[in-house]
Amino acid sequence: MDDNVELPTDGNSKPSEVTDGFFEREVQLSREQTGTFLRELADQIEAGTKLTVSTSDWEIPFEYDEPIEVEVEFTGGREDELEIELEFTEATADDDLSVH
């Protein structure tokens, strides 16, 4: 199973790897594209703690620790909005303390 969850894009160039600093993109997807993306992401979450999110322009390889934070936010009013956010925290080395 590939550990790459790819967002649809039109470009064909090799993506640049994002591993440091700040990076943010919003991507508008159809229902079908969103479903595919979420299924691929779910498969990778179930398979292990490494994943790569990418487009043809960029890719973010990431290794994370559990738990995964899931935030659900609803705003009602003139324009209702539902936001679902997943937050993965970077994996850290185990610092097991032991006495021999």
pLDDT digits (tens, 9 = 90+) for 68-86: 999 999 999 999 999 999 9
Q: How many angstroms separate the CA atoms of 88 and 65, rounded?
A: 7
**10 Å Cβ neighbour count for 72?**
8
Q: Are 53 and 61 in contact (CB under 8 A)?
A: no
pLDDT at 98: 59
Confidence (pLDDT) at 93: 75
| Rounded Cα–Cα distance for residues 51 and 44 (Å) | 6
> pTM here?
0.75
Q: What pLDDT was estimated at residue 92?
A: 86
Q: Tell me the pLDDT band of 11, cut-offs 50, 70 and 90.
A: low
By C-alpha distance, which of 60, 66, 61 is closest to 86? 66
Rounded to an integer, the average pLDDT of 38-64 is 95
- C-alpha span between 99 and 8 (Å, rounded): 51
